[in-house]
Amino acid sequence: MIAKQFQYLTFATTLASVSAFCNGADLDAASELAVSSELSAANLLSVSNLTVVNQEGGANNVYVRQTGQTNYTSARQDGNRNSLSVTQAGEDNIVLSSQVGDQNLSGLIQVGYENFIDIDQYGMGNTAGISQFGMQNSAYVEEIGLLHKVHVYQSGNGLHASVRVTGTATTTYINQYD
């Protein structure tokens, strides 16, 4: 059984594996990339990259690098030091991230085609750094509570950014270049 402290899955297969995971089924060793409180680097190269991360408490760190066609990362970090770094290069790049409580921090880079990022940061340190290059480019950031900072840089094509912040030390920069 995968430890509740940190759940990390990387698939280049079907959503059936994700469904099995969500229903509590054990996964085989080939489907399970890492189980620890910190993932140093996940280098993924394939046609269909799917990364799902759930972390509760502790020092929380996630570093994901995806190169391929259907790059998708979903991350939820609850409590303590939080941190998220995702680099995607390919076609259908998507990042969904939720960081709840404590230090928060996100660094996201997307290069190529359908680029989409949605980050929610609630409570404490907050910070989000987003760079998107090429094609559709959409970035949505919500930061609630304390020391916010949001930096969005977009270059090329669709160029859409939406930032919502409430409470305390807000700083927001959005730079868009077509």
pLDDT tens figures, 109-168: 999 999 999 999 999 999 999 999 999 999 999 999 998 999 999 999 999 999 999 998
| pLDDT computed for residue 68 by the predictor | 87
Residues near 176 by beta carbon (within 8 Å), at least 6 away in sequence: 154, 155, 159, 161
The pTM (predicted TM-score) of the whole model is 0.74
The Cα 78–Cα 56 span in angstroms is 5
The Cα 130–Cα 154 span in angstroms is 8
Helix (H) or strand (E) holding 15, with range, is: helix 15-22
Choose among 174, 6, 135, 129: nearest CA to 78: 6
pLDDT tens figures, 35-91: 333 444 455 455 678 999 999 999 999 999 999 888 999 999 999 999 999 999 998
